[in-house]
Amino acid sequence: MNVPDWFAELSSALDTKMGMVLDEVTATRAVGRYPVAGNTQPFGLWHGGASCVVAETLASLAAAAEVGPQGSITGVDINATHLRPVRAGWVTGTATALRIGGSLATYDVVLTDDAGEQVCAARITVFLKRPPTG
């Protein structure tokens, strides 16, 4: 697992509820896994809203790694296209930086099922508040 030590303090009730397993976090990439069980819509399929949560969470964690523990981040845009259903197993999300600027970072997020099939394509933009330098 490649996760900065200070990330042990970062957690949310939603991450816990969704069963997030965080595998990697750097400023340019974040990877996490989520069980399908417990994250489905009434018809037994992986919930599209869960895909959006995964995408925003992973992009935000990568952005947090960019600004460090003294900075802060805020999601400002999300776009997600649901590509195929998932009924069981795990969904793995990988957020990859498309561009990290001075105050905005944009990440491409790919969600796949256990067979490696892409289930969602998302793009997230995050506002970066960097700590003062001096």
pLDDT at residue 96, as a whole number: 98
> Does 27 map to a domain?
yes
DSSP state of 38: T
> Does 16 map to a domain?
yes
**What is the C-alpha to C-alpha distance for residues 68 and 134, in angstroms, rounded to an integer?**
15
pLDDT at residue 5, as a whole number: 75
> Does 52 map to a domain?
yes
pLDDT at residue 128, as a whole number: 97
pLDDT at residue 8, as a whole number: 67
- Taking the model in full, what pTM does it have? 0.93
pLDDT at residue 134, as a whole number: 67
> Does 21 map to a domain?
yes
For 111, counting Cβ atoms within 10 Å of its Cβ (0-12 exposed, 13-18 middle, 19+ buried), the class is buried
Closest-CA residue to 129 (of 105, 106, 107): 105
Residue ranges making up the domain that contains 17: 5-129
> Does 102 map to a domain?
yes
Q: Which residues are catalytic?
A: 56
Ranges of residues in the chain with a pLDDT under 50 are none
Domains held by the chain: number: 1
> Does 51 map to a domain?
yes
**Which CATH number characterizes residue 100's domain?**
3.10.129.10
pLDDT at residue 112, as a whole number: 98
> Does 134 map to a domain?
no
